[in-house]
Amino acid sequence: MANARKLADYLGNPFLCSCGRTHSTALEGVTVGAKAMNTLPAYVKKYGFRKLFVACDEITYGIAGEKVMQILQEAGIKAKAHIFTGKRFIPDEKALGELMIDADRECDLVVAVGTGSINDMCRFFSYQMGVPYAIVATAAPMDGFASSGAALIINSMKVTIPAQTPLFIIGDTDVLCGAPPRMVSAGLGDLLGKFTCLNDWRISKLVNGEYYCDAIVNLVTGCIENVLSNADQVAGRDPQVIGDIMEGLVLTGVAMSFIGDSRPAAGSEHHVCHFWETLELQEGKIPVLHGTKVAVGTVMILKMTEFLRESRPDFATARANAKLYDQAAWEENITRIYGAAANSIIALEHDTRKNEVAGRLARIDAIEENWDAIVKTMDDNMPSAARMIEILKSLDAPYAPAQIGFDSGRLYNALVYAKETRARYTMLSMIADLGLTEVLAQKVVDFVNS
């Protein structure tokens, strides 16, 4: 496959990068292809594991979990399966408790059979248990497979908690190609979101002097462009292309492992996704697929960026607006918008002080000084919103918030308040520093409704 050689080169091979850091990943094996599930016993025997704990939900058990248990049994490998019940698995405190109660304390490998949520829960659970874990993927809808952070739902808020990278990942294309169309398009959508997240990283380098690695950015960019060049074959479920998407998603996860956080793979488009997901969870709704929300969020961020580039900001007005910041008023708005999750958002602000006046004024100075470079990086490295919409339409995938259940009010609130879900500096953060958030958010809403 197109990425196979590049991906294999990074597994188990730490390297001194031109950025000055030594990059490495704990991921040691990736097998993507036809009949890949049959390699599971070889992995187990290679590392000498004796008792496995396999976690899946009712759906993933039918797709691959039952087959996994059969393969292990035929190979003489002891394994116990935990099957989560219910309409949709949620990686929250309740799910963690289930695993803790049911797990055999002698298990030496946890195997997650599924995609994002099952993977995140097993990543954290195995870390707490002090044993490795591995993945048998049932679809490729998101990029978290090789990450070391677990995205869990704690107190109705999606938070990322340090955990561990899987030891190995198996992606059987016979299974992946059978995934529902919405999951296939979600995986592509999560990859497309890298355009905006990498742009956020470049901007933060210019504004804040944040650590930045060209090698990792080029790695992720090459991965996106490789998949994007074959986007027209995704709908036809070409095994090669589906396999490339899976490997691309794993590769972006490896990039996260290289620097120890999600900067190379998640930015403003993910913050919009997290904002919407917070509302879904509070209302008891089954969340729209992560990658689908990321794709829609990417379109919205691209359009907001296009509006920003129409004219040079008024930096004097930006400074005057920054000095009017009212912490009490901000907290009142956060409580109104975030509901049960407000306390977590307010606590983050108290810890990071990302909205304080002095820091904002310093950033405005840096933005003004680097404005031409900021515009150039936006122009050189991001596709148009129209191009992104064209790609998503070709897959019959959602590209507008209303198509996934979010009206104009929730789009506007996401663009105004989503930046508060994380301390990371993004395009939304810069727009807020410039005092342009409300104006540009309304322009995006008007565009969507036109």
3.40.190.10, 3.40.50.1970, 3.10.450.40, 3.40.50.300: CATH of 34-179: 3.40.50.1970
Domains in the chain: boundaries: 34-179, 264-449
Separation of alpha carbons 110 and 123, rounded Å: 9
> Distances from the Cα of 39 to the Cαs of 71, 80, 165, in angstroms?
9, 19, 19
Angle, helix 181-192 to helix 194-208, in steps of 10 degrees: 20
Q: What is the pLDDT of residue 5?
A: 40
**Exposed / middle / buried, residue 122 (Cβ in 10 Å: 0-12, 13-18, 19+):** buried
Q: What is the pLDDT of residue 1?
A: 35
**Exposed / middle / buried, residue 101 (Cβ in 10 Å: 0-12, 13-18, 19+):** exposed
Among 364, 353, 369, which residue's Cα sits nearest to residue 322? Answer: 364
**Residue 121 CA neighbour count, 13 Å, CB half:** 27
1.20.1090, 1.10.3470, 3.40.50, 1.10.12: CATH of 264-449: 1.20.1090
Separation of alpha carbons 155 and 141, rounded Å: 25
Q: What is the pLDDT of residue 90?
A: 86
314-339 pLDDT, tens digit per residue, is: 999 999 999 999 999 999 999 999 99
**Cα angle: 137, vertex 140, 145; to 5 degrees:** 65
Residue numbers in the chain where pLDDT is lower than 70: 1-6
Query: Cβ–Cβ contacts within 10 Å for residue 86, how many?
Result: 10
Which H or E run includes 397? none
Q: What is the pLDDT of residue 3?
A: 41
Among 123, 144, 126, 101, which residue's Cα sits nearest to residue 49? Answer: 126
Q: What is the pLDDT of residue 6?
A: 65
pTM of the model: 0.86
Strands (E) across 163-247 are located at 168-172
Separation of alpha carbons 3 and 245, rounded Å: 9
Q: What is the pLDDT of residue 148?
A: 82
